[in-house]
């Protein structure tokens, strides 16, 4: 099937969503079967103890959960504030949180303590920008200390749909921000797999979950075949190791590494992998490294998960770091 298709269904009884591009699995979201907080979850948190020399702070989140904020300047023990989960925690580690809470929906983002009314830069048509701003200003004319960002997805949305989405998101934000409790508690769950897909993906909807089952099963294995080359994507406790193998010599090493560069964002996205990533590439001349880096950078430019290219190690490996926005698929499955 040509085009982009968004498939919603249940995987082992849990909400799940898959995005297919021309029939090929391009993104995958499956809820875990536990109560670990996902990114977007909002807590009323209590500052517990600072970490000297690092500028961070541990928080009590309630239900026995501990949060970690790496930039807690100005916060003091016993202070109560709202925090939001920013990424998945590794087993045994504190939950990463931020005191910059955002309320994100399909067409808008409500930004507490960041006033203003803005439209995504990708919407560059002046008439469209004016129309969207007029709709938003009519829905929430009195914004106080909160701001609104109109997302790129609302470029061609109807006035009624944008108004409904903005009204609901604004009301949710107001309800959470009005909280006056003093004990650590979870106030708002983050989005599940299907809500996240509705919020962030475009495509033709479908409920034929069986159509993606075989492609999901393939992700249980570390090996991925790319023409004559084979890559292995293997998560360990410390890092994700990616190994590139090819029987071809000479220029075949560069071709295999370029194939990896094109495929790597998709594999990391589908497998929910982040943190430190080390690439053990096929042999290629040092003069080809710049071209490989350019191809890798171009491939990650379209990926929604924040990824930083670090560079080459003395052993000739290439290192990246990637935000842990998702639970590793090995844990979910």
Q: Where in the chain is the domain with CATH 2.40.50?
A: 42-98
Q: How many residues does the chain have?
A: 333
Q: Report pLDDT for 90.
A: 82
| Confidence class for position 283, pLDDT limits 50, 70, 90 | very high
Average pLDDT (70-86) is: 93
Q: Where in the chain is the domain with CATH 3.40.630?
A: 219-332
- Give Cβ neighbours of residue 124 (< 8 Å, ≥ 6 apart): none
Q: Report pLDDT for 71.
A: 87
**Fold of the 219-332 domain:** Aminopeptidase (3.40.630)
Average pLDDT (294-315) is: 96
Q: Where in the chain is the domain with CATH 3.30.230.10?
A: 103-179
- Only one residue has tokens 């914004």, namely 143
Q: Report pLDDT for 138.
A: 96
CATH architecture assignment, domain 103-179: 2-Layer Sandwich (3.30)
| Confidence class for position 89, pLDDT limits 50, 70, 90 | confident
Flag whether pLDDT at 91 surpasses 90: no
Q: Report pLDDT for 253.
A: 93
Q: Report pLDDT for 30.
A: 96
Tokens of 174: 């107001």
Average pLDDT (13-40) is: 94
Side-chain half-sphere CA neighbours of 175 within 13 A: 10
Sign of the Cα torsion 302, 305, 311, 312 reads negative
**Fold of the 42-98 domain:** OB fold (Dihydrolipoamide Acetyltransferase, E2P) (2.40.50)
Convert the pLDDT of each residue in 170-216 to its tens digit.
999 999 999 999 999 999 999 999 999 999 999 999 999 998 999 99
Q: Report pLDDT for 280.
A: 97
Flag whether pLDDT at 52 surpasses 90: no
Q: Report pLDDT for 181.
A: 95
The closest of 253, 252, 233 to 243, measured between CA atoms, is 233
Q: Are 63 and 34 in contact (CB under 8 A)?
A: no
Convert the pLDDT of each residue in 97-156 to its tens digit.
999 999 999 999 999 999 999 999 999 999 999 999 999 999 999 999 999 999 999 999
| Confidence class for position 73, pLDDT limits 50, 70, 90 | confident
Report the distance separating Cα 85 and Cα 67, nearest Å: 8
Tokens of 262: 């094109």
Flag whether pLDDT at 281 surpasses 90: yes
Average pLDDT (44-52) is: 93
């Amino acid at each position: 099937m040509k085009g982009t298709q968004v498939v919603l269904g249940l995987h082992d009884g849990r909400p799940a969503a898959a995005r297919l591009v021309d029939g090929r699995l391009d993104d995958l979201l499956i809820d875990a079967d536990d109560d670990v907080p996902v990114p977007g979850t909002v807590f009323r948190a209590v500052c517990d103890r600072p970490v000297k020399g690092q500028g961070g702070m541990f928080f009590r989140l309630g239900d026995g959960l501990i949060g970690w904020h790496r930039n807690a300047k100005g916060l003091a023990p016993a202070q109560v504030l709202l925090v939001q989960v920013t990424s998945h925690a590794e087993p045994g580690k504190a939950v990463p949180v931020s005191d910059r809470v955002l309320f994100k929906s399909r067409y808008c983002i409500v930004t507490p303590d960041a006033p203003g009314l803005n439209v995504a830069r990708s919407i560059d048509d002046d008439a469209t920008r004016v129309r969207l701003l007029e709709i938003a200003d009519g829905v929430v004319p009195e914004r106080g200390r909160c701001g609104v960002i109109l997302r790129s997805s609302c470029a061609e949305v109807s006035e009624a749909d944008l108004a409904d989405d903005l009204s609901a998101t604004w009301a949710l934000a107001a309800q959470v921000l009005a909280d006056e409790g003093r004990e650590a508690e979870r106030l708002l769950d983050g989005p599940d797999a299907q809500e996240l897909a509705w919020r962030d993906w475009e495509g033709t909807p479908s409920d034929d979950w069986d159509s993606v089952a075989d492609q999901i099963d393939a992700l249980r294995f570390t090996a991925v075949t790319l023409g004559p080359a084979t890559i292995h994507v293997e998560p360990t406790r410390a890092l994700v190791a990616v190994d590139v193998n090819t029987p071809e010599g000479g220029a075949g090493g560069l071709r295999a590494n370029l194939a990896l560069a094109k495929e790597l964002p998709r594999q990391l996205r589908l497998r929910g992998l982040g943190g430190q990533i080390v690439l053990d590439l096929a042999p290629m001349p040092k003069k080809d490294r710049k071209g490989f880096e350019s191809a890798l950078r171009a491939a990650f430019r379209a990926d929604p998960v924040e990824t930083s290219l670090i560079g080459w190690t003395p052993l000739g490996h290439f290192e990246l770091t990637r935000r842990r926005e998702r639970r590793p698929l090995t844990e979910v499955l």
